[in-house]
Amino acid sequence: MVPPTSPRPAATQPTLEMVAAVAGVSRSTVSRVVNDSPNVTAEAVAAVTAAIEKLGYVPNRAARILASRRTLSIALVIPENTAKFFADPYLAAVIQGVALHLSSTDYTLSLLIAPEKDAEKTRRYLTAGNVDGAIILSHHSDDYAYTRLSQSIPVVFGGRPMSEEGPGATYVDVDNVDAAREMTAHLIDHGRTRIATIAGPRNMSAGIDRLQGWRNALADAGLESDRIEYGDFTPASGALAMRKLLDRGEPIDGLFAASAQMASGAVGVLREHGLEIPRDIGVVTFDDDYFAQSSHPPLTTVAQPTIEVGVRMAQVLLSAIDGEPGEKITMLPVAIIERDSA
């Protein structure tokens, strides 16, 4: 009869004590290095780092959370419905930037898709000690539950909040007014004088600011600014708005659409009506994404640094969590991409 074989012993998981022995330092020194304490000599850091690499030591996340009294978790909140979230390339790029920065830290990212009806429930979750801070994207003026968050945890907004708490909020944005003015002026410089706009939502700062930029450019040129319809940054809303503009029967030779998705919908309607771009109507827009690039012809547009927006929001939030002083408002530059649509 063959005797039963003994089970293989489980591999020993490296411990702080083992790292300390290899590095020739105390256990407390290893702990300070692992927790990024500044009170450690460069020589000790080098010795501990080498020992960690040699042994394959992985810090105990639960222990670090208890020691720091932090969750090491960040929430990224999208106050939109699921369908709109998955269709918007801007949101995807910003989230990529946030995740890119957090990948070099101990923080994990929790994505919360929370339409308006779930706002209060989401706020309760965020203030119940589940996260150390929150990033809020695609917010609206009636998202009061989110602007109140800053009274409980560090919060950074993507774009200027519009509610009563907005003036004191921390946010990362671009100069939507100036970029929209420049886009509209581009049409004017190419001889367009009857310029319409498909504006964004009236309860979002990006929609309001881009509309103001369009108005500023027309006022500077002494042109009428009454050819306005509104959308919600989706292709379907852009198509509907373009139909409404054409149904007025007023001549239009230029169009500024406040997002490339809305421009995409508008271009389809223009084509249905036998209007050629740019021969009959010049079209410019906002966002250098798939919708701007794949249009026929590709659209002159404002390129936002979307990934950088995400990176900067993560940086600003982590600094706030650490109690470091910082600027409330971070404005990033844009680039104008000229193509043949104007």
The domains located in the chain, with CATH, are: 16-68 (1.10.260.40), 73-172+306-330 (3.40.50.2300), 176-303 (3.40.50.2300)
Cβ neighbours for 37, distance < 8 A, ≥ 6 positions apart: none
Q: What rounded mean pLDDT belongs to the chain?
A: 88
And the tokens for 54? 């040699």
For residue 297, say if its preceding peptide bond is cis, omega within 30 degrees of 0.
Answer: yes
83 vs 332, more confident: 332
At 143 the pLDDT is 61
For 85-115, the pLDDT digits (tens) are 788 899 999 999 999 999 989 899 999 887 7
At 296 the pLDDT is 92
At 69 the pLDDT is 66
Percent of the chain with pLDDT over 70: 89
d(Cα 160, Cα 247) in Å, to the nearest integer? Answer: 34
At 10 the pLDDT is 44
d(Cα 132, Cα 69) in Å, to the nearest integer? Answer: 10
And the tokens for 22? 């290899």
Q: What is the mean pLDDT of residues 313-319?
A: 95
Question: Is 0.85 surpassed by the pTM of this model?
Answer: no
At 119 the pLDDT is 75
Strands 254-257, 282-286: parallel, antiparallel or unpaired by DSSP? parallel
At 8 the pLDDT is 40
At 129 the pLDDT is 86
Q: What is the mean pLDDT of residues 236-243?
A: 98
d(Cα 93, Cα 36) in Å, to the nearest integer? Answer: 30
At 42 the pLDDT is 87
Percent of the chain with pLDDT over 90: 61
Is residue 32's pLDDT more than 90?
no
The DSSP line for 189-242 is HTT--SEEEEE--TTSHHHHHHHHHHHHHHHHHT-----EEE--SSHHHHHHHH
Go through 173-183 and write b for each residue having 16 or more CB atoms within 10 A of its CB, e for each that does not.
bbbbbbbbbbb
- H/E stretch holding 332 reads strand 329-332
For 39-83, the pLDDT digits (tens) are 788 888 899 889 888 888 776 655 555 555 678 899 999 888 777
At 57 the pLDDT is 79
d(Cα 36, Cα 50) in Å, to the nearest integer? Answer: 15
Structure-derived torsion over alpha carbons of residues 63, 66, 71, 72, reported in degrees to the nearest 10: -50
At 326 the pLDDT is 83
Is residue 176's pLDDT more than 90?
yes
d(Cα 153, Cα 147) in Å, to the nearest integer? Answer: 11
Cβ neighbours for 339, distance < 8 A, ≥ 6 positions apart: 297, 298, 299, 300, 301
pLDDT bucket at 21, cuts 50 / 70 / 90: very high
Is residue 34's pLDDT more than 80?
no
Is residue 219's pLDDT more than 70?
yes
For 250-261, the pLDDT digits (tens) are 999 999 999 999
At 6 the pLDDT is 44
- H/E stretch holding 282 reads strand 282-286
At 294 the pLDDT is 94
Selection from 55-64, 137-146, 261-270 with the highest mean pLDDT: 261-270
